[in-house]
């Protein structure tokens, strides 16, 4: 009796399967797709290489002071100093500010849409959030200048009057306009939709049976939220927040109009009317910049890009981990 497993014949060698298409049209078809891949990789590589190449001189000359120093003078051609400390810190401060303001709004909106609202209201709310995401930042900037700045300045004044004893809400200049606080709000408006939609997706993928089982066992809405919903979705929410942070760091024109740029570093005085932002600085300086200054601006842009890349990469890793069903 012969059997499947007892066969004593040696296993034959694998044959080569057709790797290449036979037809000319197919060759063209796949060739174009490959060329697109090569082209796209080329564009990305070119941008990175060029940014690096152009930044090199500045980075080499200025050293670590490029990131940590706070001076920017191109007046003396013998001794040009380009240091972006206040701008880099300002970008981070505004982005953190924005994230801190946006996170409660985003989680609340996501929780509202997924767990509180009727299906019809949830649909409307989802559309509203998507719409908010589609508003160009220059329009938000216009709104920031024309409508929001006075309101937020008033809020800042109230904070200063009532909580001014905290170092955070100190204000010595007396002006509440042009502060990182206001820029943070503007950025928050822009990143709320991103964080909301990531959080909402994570919430919607939660196992309803587990949640219902928790309620069936007598858990209250709030303890279900704190003990079941938040812990299981925290990874995804953190990923969404990082995505928002990446977006916030790159925001340019909206901040340009509401922020008072200053090369005097503003550590935590968020309602003081001066701050920094790399992206806004580029817009503000490029027009009158000398060739050396342009190189320095590029180096600043590169620093911003690298930080954004790291944050986005971290966000992608965290979101992918939190959503294994996506792969």
Partner 1 sequence: MSEQQTATTSLPRPDQSPWQVRDSRKTRNLVLASVLPAIVSAAIALGMNIDATIAMLLIFVPLQLVSAGFVGYRIFGRKGIADASLVIFTIFFSALVGVLLFSVLFSVITEGAKAISPQFFLQNNVYITSTTSLEYGGVGHAVLGTFIIVGLTTLVTVPLGIALAVYLTETPSKARGAVRTLVQAMSGLPSVVAGLFVYAALISTGFTKYAGWLGSLALIPLMLPTITRVAEEALRLVPVELRNGALALGAPSYRAFFQVTLPAAKSGIITAVLLGIARIIGETAPLLLTVNYANNTVLNPLESMAALPTYIYQNLDSANDTSLQRAWGAALVVLIFVGIIFTAARLATRPKTAKQKVDKNV
Partner 2 sequence: MSDLSNAANLSTIEAHLRSEDVNVWFGERHVLRDVSLTFPVNQVTALIGPSGCGKSTFLRTLNRMHELIPSAGFAGRILLDGEDIYEPGVDPTNVRLKIGMVFQKPNPFPTMSIKENVLSGLKLSGRRGYDATEIVETSLRRASIWNEVKDRLGDPATSLSGGQQQRLCIARSLAMNPEVILMDEPCSALDPGSTRRIEETIEELSETMTIVIVTHNMQQAQRVSHQTAFFLAEDGNPGGVVEFGKTEDVFNNPIDLRTNDYVNGHFG
Site for partner 2 in 19-38 (CB under 8 A): 22-23
d(Cα 312, Cα 310) in Å, to the nearest integer? 6
Contacts with partner 1 by CB under 8 A: the residue count is 97
Q: Is 118 in the site for partner 2 (CB under 8 A)?
A: no
Q: Is 147 in the site for partner 1 (CB under 8 A)?
A: yes
DSSP character string of 19-34 = -S-SSHHHHHHHHHHH
| DSSP structure class, residue 76 | -
Looking at the Cβ atoms of 135 and 168, the one nearer to partner 1 is: 135
Among the listed ranges 8-16, 86-94, 161-169, 317-325, the one in contact with partner 2 (CB under 8 A) is: 8-16
Looking at the Cβ atoms of 1 and 216, the one nearer to partner 2 is: 1
Q: Is 230 in the site for partner 1 (CB under 8 A)?
A: no
Label residue 183 exposed, middle or buried (CB < 10 Å: 0-12, 13-18, 19+).
buried
Q: Nearest distance from residue 20's CB to partner 2, in Å? A: 10
The entry of partner 1, partner 2, none near residue 320 (CB within 5 to 8 angstroms by kind) is: none
d(Cα 312, Cα 239) in Å, to the nearest integer? 9
In angstroms, the Cα distances linking 209 to 54, 61, 68, 214 are 56, 61, 52, 8
The entry of partner 2, partner 1, none near residue 143 (CB within 5 to 8 angstroms by kind) is: partner 1
Looking at the Cβ atoms of 13 and 288, the one nearer to partner 2 is: 13
Q: 3-class SS at 81?
A: strand
Contact 70, 263 (CB under 8 A): yes
| DSSP structure class, residue 73 | E
**Looking at 60, 204, 221, 227, which residue binds partner 1 (CB under 8 A)?**
221
Q: Is 327 in the site for partner 2 (CB under 8 A)?
A: no
d(Cα 241, Cα 104) in Å, to the nearest integer? 11
| Phi-psi group of 47: left, alpha or beta (phi > 0 → left; psi -120 to 50 → alpha; rest → beta) | alpha
Which tokens in the block code for residue 33? 């797709």
Looking at the Cβ atoms of 34 and 267, the one nearer to partner 1 is: 34
Q: Is 212 in the site for partner 1 (CB under 8 A)?
A: yes
Q: Tokens 């790399």 sit at which residue? A: 278
Q: Is 326 in the site for partner 2 (CB under 8 A)?
A: no
Q: Is 99 in the site for partner 1 (CB under 8 A)?
A: no
Q: Is 96 in the site for partner 1 (CB under 8 A)?
A: no
Among the listed ranges 3-11, 32-40, 123-131, 312-320, the one in contact with partner 2 (CB under 8 A) is: 3-11
Looking at the Cβ atoms of 29 and 50, the one nearer to partner 2 is: 29
Cross-strand partners of 81: 73
- Strand ranges for 113-246 from DSSP E: none
**Looking at 198, 297, 318, 322, which residue binds partner 1 (CB under 8 A)?**
297
Contact residues toward partner 2 (CB under 8 A) are: 1-5, 7, 9, 11-18, 22-23
């Amino acid at each position: 009796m012969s059997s499947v497993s007892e066969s004593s014949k040696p296993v034959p060698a694998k044959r080569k399967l057709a790797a290449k298409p036979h037809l000319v049209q197919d060759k063209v078809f796949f060739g174009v797709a490959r060329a697109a891949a090569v082209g796209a990789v080329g564009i990305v590589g070119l941008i990175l290489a060029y940014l690096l190449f152009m930044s090199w001189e500045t980075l080499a000359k200025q050293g670590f002071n490029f990131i940590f120093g706070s001076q920017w003078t191109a007046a003396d051609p013998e001794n040009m100093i380009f240091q972006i400390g206040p701008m880099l810190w300002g970008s981070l401060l505004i982005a953190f500010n924005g994230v801190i303001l946006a996170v409660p709004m985003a989680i609340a909106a996501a929780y509202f849409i997924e767990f509180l609202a009727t299906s019809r209201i949830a649909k409307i709310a989802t559309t509203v959030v998507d719409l908010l995401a589609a508003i160009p930042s220059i329009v938000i900037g216009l709104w920031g200048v024309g409508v929001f700045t006075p309101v937020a300045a008033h809020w800042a004044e109230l904070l200063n009057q009532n909580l001014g004893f905290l170092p955070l809400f100190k204000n010595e200049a007396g002006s509440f306009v042009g502060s990182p606080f206001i820029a943070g709000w503007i950025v928050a408006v822009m990143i709320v939709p991103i964080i909301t939609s990531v959080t909402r997706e994570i919430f919607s993928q939660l196992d309803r049976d587990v949640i219902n089982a928790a309620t069936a066992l007598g858990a209250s809405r709030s303890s279900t939220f704190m003990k079941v919903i938040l812990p299981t979705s925290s990874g995804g929410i953190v990923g969404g927040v990082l995505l928002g942070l990446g977006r916030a760091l790159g925001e340019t024109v909206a901040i340009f109009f509401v922020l008072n740029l200053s090369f005097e570093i503003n550590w935590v005085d968020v309602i003081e009317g001066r701050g920094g932002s790399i992206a806004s600085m580029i817009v503000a300086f490029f027009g009158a910049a000398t060739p050396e200054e342009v190189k320095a601006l590029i180096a600043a842009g590169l620093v911003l890009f690298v930080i954004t890349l790291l944050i986005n990469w971290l966000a992608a890793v965290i979101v992918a981990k939190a959503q294994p069903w996506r792969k």
